[in-house]
Chain A
Amino acid sequence: MISPAVEKARVVWSVISEKFGDAVSPLDENPTMPFFEVTRPELWLDIALFMRDNPKLRFNYMACLSGVDYPEEGKLGIVCNLESLGEHGYTIAVKVKCDREGGVIPSVSRVWKTADWHEREAYDMFGMTFSGHQDMRRILCPEDWEGFPLRKDYQVQENYHGIKVPY
Chain B
Amino acid sequence: MQELGKVEQASVRVTPDGENRIVIEKDLSSEEMILNMGPQHPSTHGVLRLECRTDGEVVIEAEPYLGYLHRCFEKHAEMTDYPGIVPYVDRMDYLAAMNSDFAYAIAVEKLLDIEIPRRVEFLRVIVAELNRIASHLVAIGTYAIDLGAFTPFLFCFRDREHIMSLLEWTSGARMLYNYILIGGVAYDFPRGFVERTAEFVNYFRPKAVELQKLLTENEIFVKRTRGIGMMPADVAINYGWSGPMLRGSGVEWDLRRVDGYSIYPELDFRVCVPDGRFSDIGDSLSRHLVRAMEMEESLNIIEQCLDRMPSPEGFDPRAAIPKRIRPREGEVYGRAENPRGELGFYIQSDGKSTKPVRCKARSSCFVNLSAMKELSQGQLIPDLVAIIGSIDIVLGEVDR
Contact = CB atoms under 8 A, between A and B. Distances in A.
Interface stretch (B68-76, B121-129, B154-162, B178-186): B68-76
A66 interface: yes
B72 A149 contact: yes
Interface string A62-105: 11101111000000000101000110010001000000000000
Interface stretch (A8-16, A41-49, A134-142): A134-142
Contact of A113 (B239, B251, B344): B239
A125 interface: yes
A60 B234 contact: yes
Interface stretch (B2-10, B218-226, B280-288, B365-373): B365-373
Contact of B240 (A86, A113, A125, A141): A113
B74 A112 contact: no
Contacts of B358: 66, 68-69
A61 B53 CA distance: 31
A77 B370 CA distance: 22
Given A64-B362, A86-B251, A30 B331 contact: yes
Interface in B101-133: 110-111
Contacts of B251: 85-86
Contacts of A139: 66-67
B145 interface: no
Nearest to B363: A64
Nearest to A117: B370
B332 interface: yes
A138 B371 CA distance: 18
B150 to A, nearest CB: 34
Interface in B11-44: none
Nearest to B328: A32
A149 B75 CA distance: 8
A140 B67 contact: yes
B237 interface: yes
Interface in B145-170: none
A63 B362 contact: yes
A85 B110 contact: no
A63 B333 contact: yes
A10 to B, nearest CB: 18
B75 A32 contact: no
B146 to A, nearest CB: 24
Nearest to A62: B240
A116 B368 CA distance: 12
Interface string B325-340: 0000011110100000
A145 B74 CA distance: 17
B229 to A, nearest CB: 16
B239 A114 contact: yes
Contact of B331 (A60, A79, A114, A149): A79
B110 A140 contact: no
Interface of B: 66-67, 70, 72, 74-75, 78, 110-111, 234-235, 237-240, 251, 253, 258, 330-333, 335, 342, 344, 346, 348, 358, 360, 362, 366-367, 370-371, 399-400
Interface of A: 30, 32-33, 35, 60-64, 66-69, 79, 81, 85-86, 89, 93, 112-114, 116-117, 125, 138-142, 149-150
7 contacts: A63-B342, A64-B333, A68-B358, A86-B251, A112-B238, A114-B367, A138-B67
Closest 9 interchain pairs by CB?
A114-B240, A64-B362, A66-B360, A32-B332, A140-B67, A117-B370, A140-B70, A113-B239, A81-B333
